[in-house]
Each structure stands twice: as structure tokens, then as C-alpha cells.
A and B are shown apart, each in its own frame.
Chain A
Amino acid sequence: MEELGLLMQGFAVVLEPQNLLLMLVGIALGVLIGVLPGLGGANGIAILLPLTFAMPPVSAIIMLSCIYWGALFGGAITSILFNIPGEPWSVATTFDGYPMAQQGKAAEALTAAFTSSFVGAFVAIVMITFIAPVIAGFALRFGPPEFFAVMFLSFASFIGMSKGPALKTVCAMMLGFLLAAVGMDTVTGQLRMTFGSTEMIRGFDFLVAVIGLFGISEILCSIEDGLRFKGERAKIDAKVVLRVWASLPKHWWLALRSSLIGCWMGITPAGATPASFMSYGVARRMAKDGASFGKGRIEGVIAPETAAHAAGTSALLPMLTLGVPGSPTAAVLLGGLIMWGLQPGPMLFVEQKDFVWGLIASMYLGNVVGLLVVLVAVPWFAAILRVPFSIIAAIILVVCAIGAFTVSNAEFDITLMLLFGVVGYVLKKLDYPLAPLVLALVLGDRTEEAFRQSLLISQGSLGVFFSNWLVSTIMAMGFALLLWPVVSWARGLLPGRRIRGPATA
């Protein structure tokens, strides 16, 4: 049980007063970010990242990851009280959460949501504690071909498991890769795709892209419906909390199943949003009276919240162990690691024990603190949404602009952010997924580097990606996922032809 000893050391790091304070600040900011439309985990952390450069890395990651937990908690508040998902992963929570609030059971719904979020996160953290060191130890043997294969697998799984049109996922992803390649080539120093512009030499910073794609575009989408918040009121008192907690143990199987769905979807880069939908769908299908879902069933709140939080948390597992993030927010945290001068990947577990175990310990503590904070402070956070949208939108735009500027002190980045915002608005409305774009932008340079180093080893033969059982297995899994949409498309085509045949003939 070496992990437990290391975990205790991690707790010693977290319990330093300065880090505890940062944790509280992070949680509070995170809930705020989760409640506000246009600010989410990914772009909220992207905006705050430049402010952490002066901090020790472990304090910085504690604060930023706590913002993430806070945002996960906060998404539920607006879903249940206002029927507005503050975050994409809390869309499924609105299905039963808002009806519960309308029936005057807002406090029950919120308590159930927060508690099951906590349970989901807890299962994921326990999994990370014990599995992460194993995977990291395994990955220490990885060479460039294996790393390329892992990246290939995670990008292939985006295409294979995407709900939308696979071609659009490919488009978004390739755009991300191209944007990542703009600027100086890290291997040869050659300038690529700058087309003579000096501003382009720096390349596209993914933080600027994230702020635009997720922040500005969200504001544009919200204004379309002439957004006006109309919410139910909620005050949680101890009696309700205890009553709900007493009723929760009978849903243990639902919670466990949802946690496992969440963990799986979080590790593979599907992310928290599909996890919450899938968990909700499974819960409805498995229930005896599935038809009553959507009318205010507590199970309909527990299932998506548990899965979303489990997925959001376990997205950090591949980020820490392999350097391949499982969600856009994890990708931003990964960008943070690189900026603080840490090399993401298995060596972290060898060289930066304090950092890794401090982070894992802060996940345990951060979620306990987060649960208490949201239970106590719900009315205050809900009050924020009573501020008129015209004020909130303007302030969020200003905050985004400041965030984009501080990434590298460049005024041009503010213009880029706005462009990314418009692009994000159009892509979102056309059902192009944004997560693969961001992940490709973050991982593009390292994917390319792994690819080129592998080819150098083999003197240009692509056979290097099938040179041993390990890399072959990962590549084969990747190809299987890639071909999945083609297979299901072809299968759908056969009967489709038959039906359409006589009609057109």
C-alpha cells in the first residue's frame, strides 16, 4: 500500500494554510463560474491560468482543479432552479431537477444533486488513487510510437463514439491540428502557415481559443433567445439535507452504476456530457416505471449528476498518467502543467511526487469542502442569476478579453478570441463538436513530435506503429474505433436502400 503513504504526504501538502485558502477560493470561484452562462470549467480556468504563474505549481493546480470541482457542482444549481444548464454536462439534470423544483422540492433536488456529485467524484478519485500509479508505471516503458498510438486511440475514440456526424468531428479535429501547427516548427525551426504575418509566428494559443470557443460563443448562443432568467427559489436547511441523505442509501446501485459509466466515459475522452446523458438513459431504461422520468424523479437527478462528476474527475487520470487529457477542462489543466514547467506524462509520478499526490489529496478534500460550500451557499449563488443578463454578459465579455490578453500579453489575442467566438457560435449551431478541436489544438504539437520521432527510429517506415504487441494493440483498437462509424453507416445503408428503392423507382 505504497499509495496510501504517498497520499498522506499529499494531505500534508494540501493542509498547509495557504493551500487550504486557495482551495476555498477555487471552489467558490468554480461554483460562480458554473452558475454563470458563458463561463465554464474550461474557459474559466483558461482565464485564471495566467494569474497562477507566480504560484508554486502544487498550489496553482490545487486552486485550478478546485475551480473545476466547483464548476461541476455549480452546473447543477442553475439546472434545477432555473432550468438553464450552466454547463453542458448538467443538461440531463434539468430533465427531472427542474420539475422537482417546480413542485416545491428544490431543496431535495439540490441536496440529491450535490450529494451524488460528491459520490461520483469520490468513486473516481479512489480509482485514480489506485490505478493511476499502475498506469503511469506501465507507461514509463512507452517510446514515441506508443505515445503516438495512445494519442491516435484517443482521437479515434472521439470519431468512433461521437453522437453527431463523424465527418464533422473529423473536420473540427483536423482544424485543431492545423491551428496547432501554425507558427514555428518545434523540431526544425521552420515557419509554417504564417503566410507572411508576424502575428502568426507565435502560433495560436489554445487558451485564447478556449476562451473564445467556449466563452464568447456561449454568450452569442444565449442572447439568441433573448435570455431572461426565471427561477424557483431555494433554501436548504439541515432537516431536508438529513432527510434526503437518509433516503439516498437505497439508490446505492444506481449511484454505483452511474459512477462506473462516468469513470469509463471520463477516461476515454468522451467526457462528462455524454456520460450524464448515458447514465440518465440507462437509469430510465432500467427503472420499472421509466415513463415517470422527466416529471421530477429523484433518480433522474442522481444518475446524471453522479456520472458527470465521476467523468469530470476521472478525465484527470489519462492527463496525469499519459499526458492525454480526457476533457477540454483537463486539457486546459494540462496546458497549465506545461506552463509551470512540468512535463506531463508518466515521469510526473517519479519526479514530481509532491505535485501528483498533493493534487490527488486535494481532490478528496476539495470535494468534501465543495459539498459543504454549495449546501450552505446555494441561495447566494442562485441570487447571481437574478442580476440582469445585460450586466452579466458585458462583465463576462470584459473578463474574457482580459483573460485572452493576459495569456501572453498580446492585444492581437483579444481579436483572435473574438474570431474564435464567432467560429464557435457557428460550429456549435451546426453541431460540430468543439472538444476534439480543443484537444487537437493542445495535443497537436506533441502528437506530431511523437509521429516524427517514431518515423526517425524506423527510418521512415510506418511499420514502426506495428512493431511490437503493445503498440500494435493500441493502434488496432484505434482503427477499430475509427471504422465504427463506417460500419454502422454501411449497415444503415443496406435496409435504407431497400426502403427507398421502390419509392424512387
Chain B
Amino acid sequence: MDSMRGLRMSMVEAGTALAFALAGLAAIGDSLRIGTGWGADGPQSGTFPFWIGLILVAASAGTLVQAVRTRAESGLFASWGQLRLVASVLVPTALYVAAIPFTGIYVASATLVAWFMHRLGGFGRARSAAAGLGVAVTCFLVFEIWFLVQLPKGPLETALGY
């Protein structure tokens, strides 16, 4: 029964339309602050975003109305089971992104690859750790050594002299 229940399409549809409308309103507000009329050097900075924001609000209002009117016949956006799968990828990725400023990209990447393999792929600890290390070292060789691109580094790289 798990596959039959989940987030309703109409809810997400309405929420997205509202978010679009808010973005449009924010643009309108900011444009009014900096001027939407005719300045010394032509149209003021706010003119273009003002009208774009206005169109965005109108279009998202239309989408919202449609979402509300058809809410009865709308299906599922995703079942809870599907959302759990998405979260199993999204949450580690978010932690990965959050960790990069502190650990550098190499350590974080090695951990991410190892975590995915161990938790999602069912690989053993040793193999997962080895693969994570391999990916990190390969990236290091390709970017820092070969292409001379500086990626974010953390305490470990500093300790190793980079």
C-alpha cells in the first residue's frame, strides 16, 4: 500500500506556483526601490525586472488557479517510498556540500563515494573505502597536478603539504 500514498501533485503544484509568485513579487519590490521609470541614461535599472516580475506573478497566478481547479483529479507527485529513496541521495549530498568548506573537496568526496557504495550499493566496508580513496586520488591527480586547477582543500591536504 506504500506505493499508493505520498505527496499529492496538486499540493506541490500549488506550492511551486506560490514560490514563483513570491520570486516575482520580490523582483517587483526591489525594482520599485531602484526605480522603474526613465532616468538620465535611459530606462532605469528596475524597469526590465519590474515587468518580468509582473509577468511572472500573472503567469504563476494562472498556474495556481489551474492547480486548484484540477486538484480533485491530480495524482501523486511521488509516493513516500520514492521520496525516501530521493532523500537517501539528497541528504548525504547536502551534508557533502556542507562539509566541503571544512574538510576540503577530496576528503568529502571520498566519504560520499564510500557512503553511497556501502549504504545504497551494499558493498563491503573495505571495498567502499578503497573506491572512495581511489576516486579522491584520481580527482587530485587530474585537477591539481594535470590541469593545475585549485580545488577547495582542508586540514588533511595542508598536513600533507599542499
In the bound complex, residues from chain B placing their C-beta under 8 Å from that of A226 are 85
Total contacting residues, chain A, CB less than 8 A? 59
Q: Which of B14-50 contact A (CB under 8 A)?
A: 16-17, 20, 23-24, 26-27, 30-31, 34, 38-39, 41-49
Are B66 and A178 in touch, CB under 8 angstroms?
no
How far in angstroms is the closest Cβ of chain A from B98? 8
Interface string of A211-244 (1 = CB under 8 A from B): 0000010011001111000000000000000000
Binds B, one of A97-105, A252-260, A397-405: A397-405
For window 85-129 of B, CB contacts with A under 8 Å fall at: 85-86, 88-90, 93-94, 96-97, 100-101, 105, 109, 112-113, 115-117, 120-123
B45 touching A429, Cβ below 8 Å? no
Is there contact, CB below 8 Å, between B89 and A405?
no
Do A430 and B42 touch (CB < 8 A)? no
Bound-complex Cα distance A452 to B42 (A) = 7
Known A414-B97, A429-B78; judge A171-B112 contact (CB<8 A).
Answer: no
Q: Which residue of B lies closest to A418 (CB)?
A: B97
Confirm or deny: A1 has a beta carbon within 8 angstroms of a beta carbon on chain B: no
Q: Which residues of A contact B93 (CB under 8 A)?
A: 216, 397, 418
The range of chain B's interface size is 35 or more
Q: Give A195 to B123 CA distance when docked, in angstroms.
A: 46
Tell me, in angstroms, the Cα distance from A165 to B101 when the chains sit together: 41
Please classify the interface of chain A as helix (H, G, I), strand (E, B), loop, or mixed, using the class held by over half of its residues: helix
How far, in whole Å, are A178 and B34 apart by their CA atoms in the complex?
A: 15
Contacts of B31 in A (CB 8 A): 192
CB pair B52 A193 closer than 8 Å: no
Q: Is A411 part of the binding interface, using a Cβ–Cβ cutoff of 8 Å?
A: yes
Which residue of chain A is the closest to B132 with respect to CB atoms?
A394
Q: Is there an interface contact between A401 and B109, defined as CB atoms closer than 8 Å?
A: yes
Question: Distance in Å from the Cβ of B152 to the closest Cβ of chain A?
Answer: 6
- By the criterion CB–CB under 8 Å, are A409 and B96 in contact? no
Given contacts A171-B59, A188-B41, A390-B117, contact A224 B52 (CB under 8 A): no
**B-facing residues in A369-410 (Cβ within 8 Å):** 388-391, 393-395, 397-398, 401-402, 405-406, 409
Contact A405–B78 (Cβ < 8 Å):
no
Return chain A residues, CB-CB under 8 Å to B139.
398, 402
* Pair B63/A397 contact, Cβ less than 8 Å: no
Known: A224-B82, A418-B97. A50 touches B149 (CB 8 A): yes
Most chain B CB atoms below 10 A, which of A220, A394, A406: A394
In the bound complex, do residue A406 and residue B49 qualify as a contact, i.e. CB atoms below 8 Å apart?
Answer: no
Alpha-carbon distance A418/B96, docked complex (angstroms): 10
Q: What residues of chain B lie closer than 8 Å to A417, measured between beta carbons? A: 97
Chain B proximity of A143: nearest CB distance (Å): 15
- A421–chain B nearest beta-carbon distance, Å: 8
**CA–CA, A393 and B120, complex, Å:** 10
Among B39, B41, B42, find the residue whose CB has the most chain A CB atoms closer than 10 A: B42
Q: Across the interface, which residues of B come within 8 angstroms of A401, CB to CB? A: 96-97, 100, 105, 109
User: Is the CB of A177 closer than 8 A to any CB of chain B?
Assistant: yes
Closest to A425 in B: B86
| Sampled A-B contacts (21; CB under 8 Å) | A167-B62, A171-B63, A174-B24, A177-B52, A188-B41, A220-B86, A223-B85, A224-B85, A391-B117, A397-B112, A398-B105, A398-B109, A398-B112, A402-B139, A405-B105, A405-B151, A406-B151, A411-B152, A425-B86, A426-B12, A430-B13
Seen from chain A, the residues whose Cβ lies within 8 Å of a Cβ on chain B are: 50-51, 165, 167-168, 170-171, 174-175, 177-178, 181, 185, 187-188, 190, 192-193, 195, 216, 219-220, 223-226, 388-391, 393-395, 397-398, 401-402, 405-406, 409, 411, 414-415, 417-418, 422, 425-427, 429-430, 432, 448, 451-453, 455-456, 460
> Given A394-B113, A398-B113, list of 19 further CB < 8 A pairs?
A165-B63, A167-B63, A171-B63, A178-B52, A193-B30, A219-B89, A224-B78, A224-B82, A225-B82, A393-B89, A393-B116, A397-B96, A401-B96, A402-B139, A406-B151, A417-B97, A425-B86, A430-B12, A453-B42
